Amino acid sequence: MAPPASVLAALVALLHVGFLVLEMFLWTTPWACRALRRTPAQQAETAVLAKNQGLYNGFLAAGLAWSLVAPPALALPLRLFFLGCVVVAGLYGAATASRNILFLQALPGLLALAATLL
């Protein structure tokens, strides 16, 4: 695969590691409350859900990392699958939770997917 596609896939994987850290470990911190424009009470109420969501983001990051080191015959289908999951999750999140997810998750995934297909 072309190096730009691999770099973009790696960046998307790193984004999802960041989402994992935010959702599983930093969710109730003052920084997260400010960044997400939510009250500490709102963050506390949703902490268990956020941890679950963070775990799923970790799976997406792991799948993309796997696509970076997998044998060539496996790398392309893995990358297409996991980037497709990122885009779908980002579109759903943008439609149901926050429009910002479109730009933070779906767009980077779509760019990496396009680079992979080219």
Give the start-to-end residue ranges of the domains of the chain. 3-117
Residue 57, CA atoms < 13 Å, CB-side half-sphere: 25
Check if the beta carbon of residue 36 is closer than 8 Å to that of residue 43.
yes
pTM above 0.85? yes
> Rounded to whole angstroms, how far apart are CA atoms 114 and 45?
38
> Length of the chain in residues, anyone?
118
The average pLDDT across 3-11 equals 96
Q: What is the pLDDT of residue 1?
A: 64
Of the chain, the percentage scoring pLDDT greater than 70 comes to: 99
> Is it the case that residue 75 has pLDDT exceeding 90?
yes
> Is it the case that residue 5 has pLDDT exceeding 90?
yes
The average pLDDT across 50-60 equals 97
Q: What is the pLDDT of residue 89?
A: 96
Q: What is the pLDDT of residue 31?
A: 96
Q: What is the pLDDT of residue 2?
A: 77
- CA 118 to chain centroid, in Å, comes to 22
Of the chain, the percentage scoring pLDDT greater than 90 comes to: 97
Q: 1 by DSSP, 3-state: which?
A: coil
Cα distance between the two ends of the chain:
9
